[in-house]
Amino acid sequence: MNKTTKRSLKMRFQTKIDHGDHTDSYEFTTRGELFHKGSQDYLRFEEVLSENESVQTTMKWDGRELMLIRQGAILMRQGFIVGEETLGRYVTSDASWETTASTEKLLVQWPTGKNRGRIQLTYKFALQGQETGTHSVRLTLEEDTSK
């Protein structure tokens, strides 16, 4: 059994939500770690929402499905499989909603050496049956050699 090797990464997270009549954008940079366990790859990072609220985000990739798991001020679990509609859940301190994602595009490339990696994800999202728009997520990943 081989030991889990963690790699430190620098990442840029960009998301764009197209609501038809307007578009929202959100972007941040952070550090994270990438590791392999069993037959899956894991990308873990922290997202700071406000001065006293943050979310620990884990993306689990098995070669077919990207599972998004968020824990902290927001609890969320949502899978993404190209061409399929998947069920999930989004929970805040005020409420809990069922979610669905219809994934149109999913690309996962981990960084190797000096080459950057990326995750691209495009999906239609619904919260409790209400469409929230088309979400386009892009993560740019590169090895963090400063450590």
Domain boundaries, the chain: 6-143
The secondary element (H helix, E strand) that includes residue 130 is strand 130-143
Q: Which amino acid is at 7?
A: R
Mean pLDDT over residues 58-71, rounded?
97
At the top level of CATH, the class of 6-143 is mainly beta
Mean pLDDT over residues 75-97, rounded?
96
Mean pLDDT over residues 64-76, rounded?
95
For the cut 70, the answer to whether the pLDDT of residue 81 exceeds it is yes
pLDDT at 45: 96
Rounded Cα–Cα distance for residues 13 and 29 (Å): 6
Mean pLDDT score of the chain, rounded to an integer? 92
For the cut 70, the answer to whether the pLDDT of residue 123 exceeds it is yes
CA distances to 34, 66, 108 from 60, rounded to whole Å, are 10, 6, 11
Mean pLDDT over residues 75-103, rounded?
96
pLDDT at 51: 83
Q: Kindly report the number of other CB atoms within 10 A of residue 39's CB atom.
A: 7
